[in-house]
């Protein structure tokens, strides 16, 4: 698992170069946004259960067929599994937010998810929709907390959605 700094150092180390102006600007931007990243993650952490619950309610309101007989979230066990997965995405999005790097999402979420969802026949569209609903809820709560994180807040959620959408799962 990497953060923005480790990833940048790794790229320059592999090519045997000193930091150039672009690298220094990237580092400066990351460090300047550090407090804001941590504040946004704190909002997510303190509201995680509510975010997941509300995202689930909205998702199932928009796609009621998921909780009807034959739907992927039909039965208490499947419904709980869906909310568990949403919580998983939210937690790892908060890690990526603080790290300023998507590596944790690739390593800890996306790699194992492909095989799991394939074997279970889980549809990807509702998963992506749930992630986007959580993004909207997080954004509203971060704004309400007076935190200006618009430059990077959506990144982990959009990355998860984009990567899942591009996969054949």
Residue positions in the annotated binding site? 72, 77, 82
The span from the CA of 82 to the CA of 38, in Å, is 27
Residues contributing to the annotated binding site for (2R,3E)-phycocyanobilin: 72, 77, 82
Question: 132, 35 in Cβ contact below 8 A?
Answer: no
d(CA 152, CA 97): 7
- Three-state secondary structure call for residue 14: helix
Contact 6, 27 (CB under 8 A): no
């Amino acid at each position: 698992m990497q953060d923005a700094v480790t990833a940048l150092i790794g790229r320059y180390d592999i090519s045997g170069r000193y930091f150039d102006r672009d690298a220094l600007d990237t580092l400066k931007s990351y460090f300047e946004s550090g407090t804001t990243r941590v504040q946004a993650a704190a909002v997510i952490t303190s509201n995680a259960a509510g975010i997941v619950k509300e995202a689930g309610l909205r998702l199932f309101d928009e796609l009621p067929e998921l909780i009807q007989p034959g739907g992927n979230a039909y039965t208490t066990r499947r419904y709980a599994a869906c909310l568990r997965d949403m919580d998983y995405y939210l937690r790892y999005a908060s890690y990526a937010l603080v790290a300023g790097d998507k590596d944790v999402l690739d390593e800890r979420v996306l790699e194992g998810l492909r095989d799991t969802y394939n074997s279970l026949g889980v549809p990807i569209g509702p998963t992506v929709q749930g992630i986007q609903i959580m993004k909207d809820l997080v954004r509203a709560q971060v704004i309400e907390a007076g935190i200006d994180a618009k430059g990077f807040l959506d990144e982990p959620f959009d990355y998860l959605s984009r990567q899942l959408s591009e996969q054949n799962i």
